[in-house]
Amino acid sequence: MSKQEHLRLLSKIAFMYYMDNMSQQEISRRLNFSRSKVSRLLVEAREREIVQIHIDAPVTRCFDLEKQLEDKFGIEEAIIVPVYSEKEENILKSIGKAGADYLTDLVKDGMTIGFSLGRTLKFVTDFLSDNQQIDCDIVPIIGGNWPGIQADIDANTICQKAAEKLGGNYFPLYAPAIVADQQLKESILRDSTIQNVLNKALQPDITIASVGVESSFFAHANLLTEEEKDQLKKEGVVGEVACWFFNSEGEIPNLSIHNRVVGPSITEINKQSKVILVSGTDYKKEAIASALSGNWVDTLITDESVAEFLLNVREAVK
């Protein structure tokens, strides 16, 4: 085992013990090590100061995987974070911190930044530094007021928090994400305030988005009619970005549900904007692969498990 591999092993065991709250016996069974070896490695992790008040993992980027993904999919940049924890929330936090660091380096005065919604993007804003002074505009690319989901993960809340931390201007979109019918949507879009926000949402310099997967579509069954559910299955839908559903090739099919979505599609946004997809964990890996096939992702921020899957799942279509 190389020195780098040994350091990664120490970090993984430290995360499992201190962050995932697994016992030494559970770790020994999971990794097929003796309990005494696990105990010895935990001591070494402390001696090497990998374990302090927090876990200071020595490897924060997987540069070799990043280059391979960039070459395979033709994207501008890939940022891959290593996976030490086995808990989904901890993986999402690592991805969110990478997204926050990337955004901070990228955003400049005069820029407009669009956000979709979701837990991963909430973590992006959690890790933004407070009291920055960047004269930028922050705009949601989809309405809020979702029934049945936490308020802190909708696009309006995420944008407000990002604006507060970056020192930018916040443009709320006071409309539901999905309305009852196309007629109501058309009526809402006639409002001049909403028109102004949606015009900004179509042309941000940067758009920070995450993907949803098939299992989440039906968690909020009241948002979709039975006919729409059947249509999603018929069209082979595998994921969505801000309620715009895409198939295995990353294409957005002509679906009736899209007539009720208040916000532009990611493919329309990508004509003017740099799209940064911040998304990870194993249960989203198929949807992420499909999104990359759609040619509307410029930068991918994900975890190393998803990255390895992407490199092996299929030939790139670019």
8 A C-beta contact, residue 317 and residue 249: yes
> Is 177 within 8 Å of 144 (Cβ atoms)?
yes
Query: pLDDT by residue (tens digit) across 55-105?
Result: 566 556 788 899 999 999 999 999 999 988 889 999 999 999 999 999 999
Q: Taking a C-beta distance cutoff of 8 angstroms, is the pair 133, 163 a contact?
A: no
pTM of the shown model: 0.82
CA 158 to chain centre: 13
CA distances from 296 to 85, 90, 150, 270 (A): 30, 27, 28, 6
User: What are the extents of the domains in the chain?
Assistant: 3-47, 63-313
Tokens for 135, please give them.
């004269």
Q: Residue 267 class from Cβ within 10 Å (0-12 exposed, 13-18 middle, 19+ buried)?
A: middle
* Tens-digit pLDDT string for the chain (318 aa): 888 899 999 999 999 998 899 999 999 999 999 999 999 999 999 999 888 755 566 556 788 899 999 999 999 999 999 988 889 999 999 999 999 999 999 999 999 999 999 999 999 999 999 989 999 999 999 998 666 667 889 999 999 999 999 999 999 999 999 999 999 999 999 999 999 999 999 999 999 999 998 666 545 546 788 898 899 999 999 999 999 999 999 999 999 999 999 999 999 999 999 999 999 999 999 999 999 999 999 999 999 999 999 999 865 444
Q: Going by C-beta distance under 8 Å and a sequence separation of 6 or more, which residues neighbour residue 160?
A: 138, 170, 172
3-state secondary structure of 135: coil
Q: Does domain 3-47 have CATH number 1.10.10.60?
A: no
pLDDT tens, position by position, 251-269:
999 999 999 999 999 999 9
Domain over 63-313 is classified CATH 3.30.200.20: no
